[in-house]
């Protein structure tokens, strides 16, 4: 019996570095990273250049899902296919020491973007690692 292929949705995808790590199938600094039993079913970012870079990488789009250029707040949950793993690199500036530390009160609305990760039920989520998010 074949193993289940884990489906990945990626929000705030950027150019796809985190997604690539979950897909595998590449060589870096002479080390081969085998293709993993995953499939990217959805990717999204609101930055034009990031989406262009993502979509130019055949290792990311070979499963058939290209990065959708759109603000995640404008995407309805029903257009996101069902998935098992959510990758979400939402902006950390509102919580980070490198930012203004306004948290959910960030004037640009970035402090509540993590709430977009709750659009659909998910088996597992990997997000940023900013320690101040725990205090938000």
Q: Is 92 a catalytic residue?
A: yes
Give the burial string for 88-109 (b: 16+ CB within 10 Å, else e).
Answer: bbbbbebbeeebeeebeebeee
Alpha-carbon gap, residue 50 to 67, rounded angstroms: 9
Catalytic choice (15, 53, 67, 92): 92
For the annotated catalytic residues, the residue numbers are 92
């Amino acid at each position: 019996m074949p193993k289940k292929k884990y489906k990945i949705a990626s929000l705030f995808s950027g150019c796809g570095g985190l997604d690539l790590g979950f897909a595998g199938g590449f060589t870096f600094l002479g080390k081969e990273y085998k293709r993993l039993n995953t499939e990217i079913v959805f990717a999204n970012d609101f930055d034009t250049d990031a989406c262009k870079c993502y979509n130019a990488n055949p290792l990311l789009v070979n499963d058939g899902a290209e990065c959708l250029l759109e603000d995640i707040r404008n995407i309805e949950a029903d257009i996101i296919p069902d998935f098992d793993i959510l990758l979400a690199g939402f902006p950390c500036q509102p919580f980070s020491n490198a930012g203004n530390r306004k948290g959910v009160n960030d004037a640009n609305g970035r402090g509540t973007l993590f709430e977009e990760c709750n659009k659909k039920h998910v088996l597992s989520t990997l997000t940023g690692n900013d320690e101040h998010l725990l205090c938000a």
